[in-house]
Amino acid sequence: MIAWEGPPSTFLQSEIDYSKAKYVIIPVPYDSTVFNMPGTRFGPREIIYQSRNIEGEAPVYTLNEIEVNRGDVKDTIRRVKDTVKQVLRDGKFPIIIGGEHSISIGAADAFDADVVIFDAHDDMKDEFEGCKYSHACTAKRISEHHNVYIIGARVGISHNINEVLKLIKGKKVYISIDMDVLDPSIAPGVGTPEPQGLTYTELLDMVKSIFEVSDVVGFDVVECNPLVESVRTPYIAARIVYSMIKLKEQII
């Protein structure tokens, strides 16, 4: 039985109380604007479930899944934003797990920060299939309120990591990672795969460099689709989340 068929668990099987946690996992099971292969709504549970295989600990608390509005993407985005803001008010570091990429619009808008997006696609469409909040419009919507830098895109605009590091040095930064930024040979369980992607090591090296030059205030990992592949990709996604927590721990 794969995880999304059973009850939700906690990231790293952590049993820490919310009051003592530094980091808060916010699962968002939403994929209503997906046009290719739906299934990313099952991503949060599978990523959290696969995290049990990571040998490590962190002061992380896992919230219950956000109650999304499958018929209203704007309302779902608002719910994500409100939840992230509450976590910030509680003095904790929010980590959002999706779900499709449109949820990052709400997450990013909870911050006054630059946004670095790792994605195989630039997601700069103004609208797609009549929807301005489609996951194909994520970067476009975020760019209306934030400086946005896209890394790893094979379709559309992509920025050079060294130039981005110069631009974000000393600033607050929110990081969004679409799992399709990785090569499909590494992470096949995504809805819109593109060849010639990043390796896991390349991605983590770039993320580490962002932590080193800026103040990372939150991040998300999205677009893991366990209906396509349900073990390797969600485990890698869980490992990315854990690695980023450890990077933040080293800095603070």
Over residues 118-133, the pLDDT tens digits come to 999 999 999 978 789 8
* Count of H-run helices and E-run strands, the chain: 7, 7
Q: What is the CATH number of the domain that holds 144?
A: 3.40.800.10
SS3 98: strand
Domain count, the chain: 1
Backbone angles phi, psi at 229, to 5 degrees: -160, 130
Mean pLDDT over 134-157 rounds to: 95
Round to whole Å and give the CA distance between 202 and 207.
Answer: 9
Mean pLDDT over 206-216 rounds to: 98
Residues 6+ apart with CB under 8 A from 133: 33, 73, 74, 77, 102, 105, 141
DSSP-assigned beta bridge partners for residue 24: 61, 94
Residue ranges making up the domain that contains 146? 3-251
Task: Report the predicted TM-score, pTM, of the whole model to 2 decimal places.
Answer: 0.95
Amino acid at 174: Y
- Give the tens place of pLDDT for each residue, 40-53: 999 999 999 999 99
Residues 6+ apart with CB under 8 A from 11: 25, 48, 51, 60, 62, 238, 241
Residues 6+ apart with CB under 8 A from 91: none
- Give the tens place of pLDDT for each residue, 56-90: 999 999 999 999 999 999 999 999 999 999 999 99
